[in-house]
């Protein structure tokens, strides 16, 4: 698994396009950005989901995980959040794991759906 960090939302589409040129197994993980004091996400659900998401996506051959940090809880629900307002993403909560294809985002897991390894395994192995 290759991880690519997308710190600047303006680079999102270019990083997705680049990943799709390199792999048919592209996943996008929206999560709460790490706080400097602990180097862990401010989002407790993200802290729980992160190791399991990475473990499972790592089992997918030639997979690329695009990591997209969200700064604060208020940013997730803000109408100004670019990922919340984009028609193809409509981010409503984190963590959110999307499967991305040339056609755009497909299926997704949201919040506690990202906790269980079995859910993530089914998700990454599904065709949509």
Choice among 6, 16, 26, 43 that is catalytic: 43
Specify whether the CB–CB gap between 128 and 99 falls below 8 A: yes
Segment (H or E) for 28: strand 26-32
Q: Is 3 a catalytic residue?
A: no
How, if at all, do strands 26-32 and 2-5 pair? unpaired
Task: Give 66: exposed, middle or buried? Use CB within 10 Å, 0-12, 13-18, 19+.
Answer: buried
Q: Is 46 a catalytic residue?
A: yes
The Cβ-side half-sphere exposure at 59, using a 13 Å CA radius, reads 13
Choice among 46, 49, 98, 120 that is catalytic: 46
Which residues belong to the active site? 43, 46
């Amino acid at each position: 698994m290759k991880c690519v960090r997308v710190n600047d939302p303006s680079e999102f589409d270019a990083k997705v396009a680049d990943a799709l040129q390199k792999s048919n197994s592209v996943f996008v993980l929206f999560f709460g950005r790490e706080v400097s004091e602990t180097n862990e996400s401010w989002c407790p659900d993200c802290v729980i989901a992160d190791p399991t998401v990475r473990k499972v996506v790592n089992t997918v051959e030639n997979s690329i995980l695009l990591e997209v940090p969200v700064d604060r809880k208020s940013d997730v629900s803000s109408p100004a959040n670019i990922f919340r307002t984009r028609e193809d993403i409509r981010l409503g909560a984190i963590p959110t794991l999307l499967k991305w294809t040339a056609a755009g985002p497909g299926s997704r897991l949201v919040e506690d759906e990202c906790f269980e390894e079995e859910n993530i395994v089914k998700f990454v192995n599904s065709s949509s």
